[in-house]
Amino acid sequence: MTGTVTRFVGPVLEWNAFVGQCQGASHAHRLEWLQVIGEVFGHETIPLVTRDQSGALTGILPLVRLRTALFGHYLVSVPFLNYGGPLGSPDAVQALAAEAVRLGRSASARLTELRSLVEQPVDLPVSHRKITVVLDLPSSADALLQGLPAKVRSQVRRPQKEGVTVRFGLDQVAPFYRVFARHMRDLGTPVLPRRFFQAMADRFGDDAWFGVAWLGEEPVAGGAGVRWLGESEIIWASSLRAHGRIAPNMLLYWAAIERAIAEGCTRFNFGRCSPGSGTHRFKQQWGGRDVPLWWYYDSPRGAVATPSPDGGGFGLAVKVWQRLPVPVATALGPFIVRGIP
């Protein structure tokens, strides 16, 4: 019956094919992400589904249980990513959300969070503390470039004049991570393990995009993301402060946009940010539109968000982390970040 929620047992193709038909679907709903998270972090993954009387899927919910001594117990769909939440018919969505709440409360989770891209027919409080910025792509990169503000075009050309080039491919995982790890240390934030990105490359293949801006033989900016359903999203991006003067990140983003257009994508997603932040303003300059995120939550303890280094109470920890040698921060970071969804 449609209202009966069970754990998914079946081929990845069945799950992903259903996701591709649903409003509000995103790459974060792909079953491969649960495989990556379970493999790399050892978290319990809970792929919930509803089916009709014929056995056909009517709804899905990729859910992960995070339980760490440092940060506590959370149920999130999907941790480390921007989207998730239930997909399917209204009845299925309601049943799946209710089951997620039941699982969270029965195990005394601090918070159950369903990160939806769209509004859902569920009776839960919602947070709009995060948004994403999406750029609708024309058929021609030249047309898009000419429509950008003069300042943006100048910032794209500057690193080119300095000799910066951009390379894409699964062979760019290592140089991307080299830049990413240093950047995260500079921000005072624990870094995801390199194994996470390698598993992402292994599971998603050509749909996983890794791009690196090179200045000679030195990687100076990098981005990682996923292409799916006509959209390319850069989820993680970073650049080295030492080369900020020549803005290699601007060329990196432009190269990713060019590639998305060349491969037939109709949307470029700059990823999530906090409204009004510096990151938000950086993304807006490309001419994209703000898309509010619908993060539904339930917490008997009154929690309204998962842990974040950006939140209050972490100021001293951030300052200490910024002083660590990069190799030390890179080694310690994965043990901490596994509990920060």
Question: Residues 6 or more apart from 133 whose CB is under 8 A from it?
Answer: 269, 270, 271, 273, 280, 283, 284, 286, 288, 289, 290, 291
Instruction: For helices 326-337 and 173-187, give the axis angle rounded to 10 degrees.
Output: 90
pLDDT tens, position by position, 311-335: 656 778 889 999 999 999 999 999 9
Average pLDDT, integer, range 242-247:
95
pLDDT tens, position by position, 77-100: 999 999 999 999 999 999 999 999
> Are both 148 and 209 inside the same structural domain?
yes
> Are both 100 and 10 inside the same structural domain?
yes
Average pLDDT, integer, range 166-192:
97
Average pLDDT, integer, range 232-249:
96
> Are both 199 and 117 inside the same structural domain?
no
pLDDT tens, position by position, 286-313: 999 999 999 999 998 877 788 776 665 6
Residue 114 has pLDDT above 90, yes or no: yes
> Are both 101 and 38 inside the same structural domain?
yes
pLDDT tens, position by position, 192-217: 999 999 999 999 999 999 999 999 99
Q: For residue 332, is it within any domain? A: no
Instruction: Provide the H-helix boundaries in the chain.
Output: 12-19, 31-41, 90-106, 141-147, 150-161, 173-187, 194-204, 248-262, 278-284, 315-322, 326-337
> Are both 237 and 257 inside the same structural domain?
yes
Give pLDDT, residue 141: 96
> Are both 205 and 250 inside the same structural domain?
yes
> Are both 210 and 279 inside the same structural domain?
yes
Quote the domain boundaries for residue 218: 132-291
What is the dihedral sign for C-alpha 135, 138, 141, 146? negative
Q: For residue 65, is it within any domain? A: yes
Per the structure, how many domains does the chain have?
2
Q: How far apart are CA 116 and CA 221, in angstroms?
A: 30
Q: How far apart are CA 133 and CA 282, in angstroms?
A: 10
Q: For residue 336, is it within any domain? A: no
> Are both 153 and 85 inside the same structural domain?
no
The torsion angles phi and psi of 17, rounded to 5 degrees, stand at: -65, -40
Give pLDDT, residue 97: 98
Average pLDDT, integer, range 119-148:
96
Residue 61 has pLDDT above 70, yes or no: yes
> Are both 230 and 146 inside the same structural domain?
yes
Bin 9: left if φ > 0, else alpha if -120 < ψ < 50, else beta: beta
Q: For residue 207, is it within any domain? A: yes
Residue 60 has pLDDT above 90, yes or no: yes
Q: What is the CATH number of the domain that holds 236?
A: 3.40.630.30
Q: For residue 330, is it within any domain? A: no
> Are both 176 and 211 inside the same structural domain?
yes
> Are both 23 and 61 inside the same structural domain?
yes
Average pLDDT, the chain: 95
Question: Residues 6 or more apart from 121 whose CB is under 8 A from it?
Answer: 90, 93, 94
Give pLDDT, residue 154: 96
> Are both 122 and 152 inside the same structural domain?
no
Nearest of 184, 2, 209 to residue 99 by alpha carbon: 2
Q: Tokens standing for 338?
A: 């596994």
Q: For residue 18, is it within any domain? A: yes
Question: Residues 6 or more apart from 139 whose CB is under 8 A from it?
Answer: 261
Would you say 225 and 235 are in contact if contact means Cβ atoms under 8 Å apart?
Answer: yes
Question: Residues 6 or more apart from 207 whose CB is under 8 A from it?
Answer: 27, 226, 227, 228
Q: For residue 276, is it within any domain? A: yes
Give pLDDT, residue 310: 64
Q: For residue 103, is it within any domain? A: yes
